[in-house]
Structure 1
Amino acid sequence: MSRRKSAALALPAAAAVLVMVASPAAAQPTTPVPQPANPSAPPPSAPIGPQPLGHAIGDAGTGLAIVRLLPNSTPTKTIIPGAEDKLPKQAAAEMGFGLASAQANSEAYLSFEKAIAQSAPGGFAFQGVSPQAPGALSQTAPPNNTQPKSAGLNLPASPLDTLVKAGLLNGQVQAHWSDTLGPCVDTIADASTELASLSALNAIPTLPGGTDLTGVFDAPNLDANADKAIIEGIKGLAGPLSTLGGVLGGQGAKTTGGKGSLLSLPNTLSARSVVKLVDIPGSKNKAVQSTSTLQVAAVKLLAGTPYEVSINVVSQPTLQVTSTGDEKTSTVKYTAPVLEVVQGGKSLGKLDAANPKMDLPIGIPLPGAPSIPGADKLPIIGGLLGNGAGAQEAIAGGLQKLDLGVIRLSVANLTQKGENATQPFKGYQLGATARMLDLQVLPTDALGLPNLPSALAQVSLGEQVARAFAPTGGVVCGTATPTQPPAPAPQGKQTPPLAYTSAAYQSVPMFWSGTAMLLVGVVLVAALPRRPRVAQVKITPDRHTD
């Protein structure tokens, strides 16, 4: 039974962090209440036994890493005519790693969906369609679970395996629910996922895989001579643009320690999602609180190359949403991350809420520039050449370069939304999403390739979602015993006996009466003792003959 539950819930666990937005908390991926085929049919029977009074809905989701190819390039599919043009576009392909989700829903139709804690190795979607991802670890309640469940996780196979490599994953989940108090337990759902290491984007498949772009390259702001100079410059690189001129390992390349990848996380990172009830000051009722936390030590870009960039996580991000049922007292608390960016032993600055973006240009040296040993066949990334020397000094010495792309880093992307609701109960629902770090590879106007999207690739680290929905006045903790309905009162007069219209009405009771008397006679005869027979001797008087 537990295996069947895990398989049935693997898809919501993998897809939740990929597609969750700050929408109403009531829209959770639980089984909908089935409607009767006949609208005039009576409602389902009332519950039997003590029932909890508390109503609470909340969920939290955390993804360690989300890789998106061609973001905002695929229309969102919908069954509503004309709605595709109004909805934001999705990525052509996306894959998440290290997903942890916790859910609480007192209104769930199936009993085991009231509390769900899940830890999934990953989930993936192609053009907005998310197939089922096996290998998820889940625990549901009721019945209540006194001990958490933990196990190692295996990543599902996908077409993105040549671009992404992940280390060992471990998950731990625990779900609580009381048969009498419902959500009024210590912690309703708690899920965590740990990932040993991760490396992503060994190549950028949206860029050309060859070095000769003759007849293809045509920058709109450059003349024909400039286009020819850029084409010759790309030919001189050690690799195609899909590997950033030979810096990345390429599709299918085996990476060690993140070398050959655009982004890598060499140390253990973990995600945790928790949903629970907390006290409301000055009230005996409770508030619904959903929390998403992330633990990351450091992030590296282009590890093992002269361009290596270290991003040290100074402050860990935490997203917490609390709903008291009242808009005035419900809150969203977000601890924005603080990241320090270092390249070549020099600090390039800090990424925080005040400075949320930083660009690292990707350029190529143009023909005719002074030859620099060790850097003539490699691009210029950030402020360094291929030999590790500073780019500013070489430019001052006559080096000419052209930026074809940008690696953009951004943090503290927090969005939130709240609204009053009346279904499935009257209250206030609040939701928020955030990302610790977004890495985007963006083309510039000088990259004259046809049909390029606004972003070539995107990796999101620490994608967090938290939503909470509490009834007006807070969650009531208590138990109600349903009352039994009274017996129906008699309607009108009692129906009089029917008139005798045939002798059959008397023959039937006479038949059964005779049968009963016969059985009684048989029993009496069988029960009475039998008298012994006495032998009779006939005495004949003697006859004397004279």
Structure 2
Amino acid sequence: MRLMALPAAVVLVALCAAPALAQPVTTPVPGPRDPGQPPVSAGPAPRTHAVGDAGTGLAVVRLAPGSTPTNTILPGFGEQLPAQSAAEIGVGLASAQANTEAFLSYERSVAQASPLGFAIGGRAPQTPGTLVQTASPDNAAPVTGGLTPPATPLDALLKVGLLDGSVHARWHDELGPCVRPLADAKTSVASLSVLNAIPTLPGTPDLTGLLTGDAPKLDAAARQALIDGVKQLAAPLSRLGGLLSGTPDTGAEGSLLSLPDTLSAHSTVELVDLPGSPNKAVRSTSTLQAASVRLLAGTPAEIRVDVVGRPTLVALSTGDRATSGITYTAPVLRVSQGGRELGTLDAAHPKLDVPIGVTPGQRLPLVGALAEGLPRLDIGVLRLQIAQLNQKDVVIDGPLQQGGPAITGFMLGATARLLDLQLLPTDALGLPNLPSALAQVSLGEQVVRAAAPNGGVVCAPAQAPPGGGGQAAPPKKGEPLAYTNAAYRTVPIFWTGTALLLVGVVLVAALPTRRPRTRARPVTDGGTPAS
């Protein structure tokens, strides 16, 4: 029995130690088992190659833009990237994407409408309440519904009314992206108020001891005048001296920027006819619809911004630089205060500065035309900008995506904004550690990108693999998957140990028990054994 127990124990220990001693094996990226079989997740290899993106945000708020260094996992690479904002929050995001090179079949066409998105120090978690539709497979009807913004740490910065969204993603089983619409997303908001407070400004009305002594345009007398002027304001500078505190008489909530009318965003990616060719071109479009914007609504300093026209940003790629291009329909913004026009923002005049100052005897800061002709000390500037169009293009000579087929073509993209509102501090506001911009609101941010091969997009059925008939080969039976964890062998080890234990019990029970033989002792005359 001892001779049999020792080998059994060795076998049991060896089986238990095998996963720990074995070379770690991980499951590879899914691929074809046979040379003629298409990839597992992509189906037949497409003959069509096209990439398009369109994104539109109703409003994007940035606190202390350019004040946070960009962190990367690559040493020293973050220093080459532009600095980020301390906090960002976006409202009403509509995104449409099409990518024939996507490895996963359901990522070929994606439409998404999100009520809210935010990032703190460059880190952006996923927000709930988003409408998403993906293809393939094809979707005959869009998904629509209301979007409820979730609670975030930045709720004090903005208030969002009812949001509606609609998403539609499609994909043809044979012609791939040659279907309309390919990817389409819409969002609209009934009301919006942004920057109900300025966290980068002090929340106390007394600036004594806070002002630095090296302000270039502030002597001792002016510094004391600024301290006295801020003390008499109705609220601290974090609420712009009371301009963001609301007005109970009119029911206004109090915000730097607000939308009394509906603002809508529309993003779409589609294939359009290519003149003189049976092929198609990739077109990505971002469109905004807005009527008017209010600054400091409900206060004597209210500024009205009327939007004339519908800003539209289009990227069209035919695969050739000569016939591809970016088209931008810039809006015209008319700025007025109390019925008096302050200026017009258009392509020829893209910037307008509105001063904010304090003066003795005033409970609220003076803004724009209200400050003309009065002695004041400017503490800030409202800078309005439009038509910030940036575009970039590149010639494609290789795969559109890692692991994809190499092609030659042309890709281009662009970004634009309906209105950029910046709150800038002046030299008179000599507070320590102030960023170059206290806050920034981008109203109507648009992004587009389009890429196509030379000659345009071919709308033809996908190529069937040789000998495969367009169908994936059935998987072979009996081939195990790669082990990614020792837990895969837990059950075999358990039953092996149980079997060995039962074998040992049977062997012990089956072998006869041998009693030790005793030698007889001589008996004395008295009847007792001799010692």
TM-score, structure 2 as length reference: 0.78
Cα distance per residue 1:86-121 (max 9 Å; x no partner) = 111111101000000000010111111100111110
The structure 2 residue matched to 1:159, chosen from 136, 143, 153, is 153
Cα distance per residue 1:183-238 (max 9 Å; x no partner) = 11122100000101000111101001011111111333222222112111111111
In 1, the alpha carbon distance for the partners of 2:150 and 2:412 equals 33
Task: Determine the structure 2 residue equivalent to 1:423.
Answer: 399
The reply to whether residue 46 of structure 1 matches residue 35 of structure 2 is no
In 2, the alpha carbon distance for the partners of 1:347 and 1:484 equals 73
Task: Determine the structure 2 residue equivalent to 1:355.
Answer: 349
Answer yes or no: is the 8 Å Cα contact 2:416–2:445 preserved in 1: yes
Task: Determine the structure 2 residue equivalent to 1:495.
Answer: none
Displacement of 1:126 in angstroms is: 0.4
The reply to whether residue 77 of structure 1 matches residue 77 of structure 2 is no
The structure 1 residue matched to 2:86, chosen from 68, 71, 92, is 92
- For residues 436-451 of structure 1, the aligned pairs below 5 Å read 436-451=418-433
In 2, the alpha carbon distance for the partners of 1:353 and 1:414 equals 10
In 2, the alpha carbon distance for the partners of 1:257 and 1:311 equals 20
Answer yes or no: is the 8 Å Cα contact 1:233–1:364 preserved in 2: yes
Answer yes or no: is the 8 Å Cα contact 1:54–1:478 preserved in 2: yes
Indicate how the Cα distance of structure 1 residues 450 and 50 shifts in structure 2: closer, same or farther if over 3 A, else same. closer
Letter in 2 for 1:414: L
In 2, the alpha carbon distance for the partners of 1:82 and 1:233 equals 46
Task: Determine the structure 2 residue equivalent to 1:16.
Answer: none
Indicate how the Cα distance of structure 1 residues 247 and 37 shifts in structure 2: closer, same or farther if over 3 A, else same. closer
Task: Determine the structure 1 residue equivalent to 2:170.
Answer: 176
Displacement of 1:37 in angstroms is: 7.7
In 2, the alpha carbon distance for the partners of 1:239 and 1:203 equals 11
Task: Determine the structure 2 residue equivalent to 1:453.
Answer: 435
Cα distance per residue 1:466-489 (max 9 Å; x no partner) = 000111111001013322179xxx
The reply to whether residue 464 of structure 1 matches residue 450 of structure 2 is no
Answer yes or no: is the 8 Å Cα contact 1:198–1:258 preserved in 2: no
Displacement of 1:44 in angstroms is: 9.5
The structure 2 residue matched to 1:278, chosen from 272, 276, 287, is 272
Cα distance per residue 1:358-417 (max 9 Å; x no partner) = 011000004xxxx5xxxx222111111xxxxxx33xx3xxx4211110000000000000
The structure 1 residue matched to 2:369, chosen from 383, 387, 391, is 383
Task: Determine the structure 2 residue equivalent to 1:226.
Answer: 222
Task: Determine the structure 2 residue equivalent to 1:344.
Answer: 338
In 2, the alpha carbon distance for the partners of 1:164 and 1:325 equals 42
In 1, the alpha carbon distance for the partners of 2:259 and 2:319 equals 40
Answer yes or no: is the 8 Å Cα contact 1:58–1:468 preserved in 2: yes
The structure 1 residue matched to 2:232, chosen from 217, 236, 239, is 236
Question: Alignment partner of 1:231: what SS?
Answer: helix
The reply to whether residue 404 of structure 1 matches residue 398 of structure 2 is no
Answer yes or no: is the 8 Å Cα contact 1:177–1:183 preserved in 2: yes
Letter in 2 for 1:483: P
In 1, the alpha carbon distance for the partners of 2:114 and 2:380 equals 34
Answer yes or no: is the 8 Å Cα contact 1:437–1:462 preserved in 2: yes
Indicate how the Cα distance of structure 1 residues 432 and 473 shifts in structure 2: closer, same or farther if over 3 A, else same. same
In 1, the alpha carbon distance for the partners of 2:225 and 2:44 equals 80
Structure 2 stretches lacking a partner, 5+ long: 1-25, 401-406, 470-531
Q: Answer with 1 or 2: which has the greater Rg.
A: 1
Question: Alignment partner of 1:245: what SS?
Answer: helix
In 2, the alpha carbon distance for the partners of 1:321 and 1:281 equals 17
Answer yes or no: is the 8 Å Cα contact 1:255–1:261 preserved in 2: no
Task: Determine the structure 2 residue equivalent to 1:481.
Answer: 464
In 2, the alpha carbon distance for the partners of 1:263 and 1:162 equals 14
In 1, the alpha carbon distance for the partners of 2:251 and 2:273 equals 46
The reply to whether residue 414 of structure 1 matches residue 400 of structure 2 is no
Displacement of 1:455 in angstroms is: 0.3
Cα distance per residue 1:429-465 (max 9 Å; x no partner) = 1000000000000001111100110000010000000
In 1, the alpha carbon distance for the partners of 2:286 and 2:267 equals 5
Indicate how the Cα distance of structure 1 residues 137 and 257 shifts in structure 2: closer, same or farther if over 3 A, else same. farther
In 2, the alpha carbon distance for the partners of 1:280 and 1:80 equals 43
Displacement of 1:257 in angstroms is: 6.4
- For residues 257-272 of structure 1, the aligned pairs below 5 Å read 258-272=252-266
Displacement of 1:357 in angstroms is: 0.4
The structure 2 residue matched to 1:290, chosen from 284, 292, 300, is 284
In 1, the alpha carbon distance for the partners of 2:30 and 2:266 equals 44
Indicate how the Cα distance of structure 1 residues 278 and 485 shifts in structure 2: closer, same or farther if over 3 A, else same. closer
In 2, the alpha carbon distance for the partners of 1:226 and 1:51 equals 73
In 1, the alpha carbon distance for the partners of 2:39 and 2:291 equals 50
The structure 2 residue matched to 1:300, chosen from 294, 312, 320, is 294
Question: Alignment partner of 1:214: what SS?
Answer: coil
The reply to whether residue 435 of structure 1 matches residue 408 of structure 2 is no
Question: Alignment partner of 1:65: what SS?
Answer: strand
In 1, the alpha carbon distance for the partners of 2:191 and 2:387 equals 23
Task: Determine the structure 2 residue equivalent to 1:246.
Answer: 242
In 2, the alpha carbon distance for the partners of 1:53 and 1:184 equals 11
Letter in 1 for 2:367: I
Question: Alignment partner of 1:85: what SS?
Answer: helix
Indicate how the Cα distance of structure 1 residues 255 and 134 shifts in structure 2: closer, same or farther if over 3 A, else same. farther
Letter in 1 for 2:467: Q
Indicate how the Cα distance of structure 1 residues 227 and 81 shifts in structure 2: closer, same or farther if over 3 A, else same. same
Cα distance per residue 1:511-537 (max 9 Å; x no partner) = xxxxxxxxxxxxxxxxxxxxxxxxxxx
Task: Determine the structure 1 residue equivalent to 2:522.
Answer: none
In 2, the alpha carbon distance for the partners of 1:298 and 1:214 equals 40
Displacement of 1:143 in angstroms is: 1.1
In 2, the alpha carbon distance for the partners of 1:416 and 1:439 equals 21
In 1, the alpha carbon distance for the partners of 2:117 and 2:250 equals 24
Task: Determine the structure 2 residue equivalent to 1:499.
Answer: none
Indicate how the Cα distance of structure 1 residues 473 and 303 shifts in structure 2: closer, same or farther if over 3 A, else same. same
In 2, the alpha carbon distance for the partners of 1:257 and 1:53 equals 60
Between 264-273 and 419-428, report the one with greater CA deviation. Answer: 419-428
Q: How many residues align?
A: 431
Indicate how the Cα distance of structure 1 residues 258 and 181 shifts in structure 2: closer, same or farther if over 3 A, else same. farther
Displacement of 1:239 in angstroms is: 1.2
Indicate how the Cα distance of structure 1 residues 255 and 138 shifts in structure 2: closer, same or farther if over 3 A, else same. farther
Cα distance per residue 1:338-362 (max 9 Å; x no partner) = 1000101011111011100001100
In 2, the alpha carbon distance for the partners of 1:201 and 1:88 equals 24
In 1, the alpha carbon distance for the partners of 2:358 and 2:35 equals 71
In 1, the alpha carbon distance for the partners of 2:97 and 2:175 equals 17
Displacement of 1:46 in angstroms is: 2.1
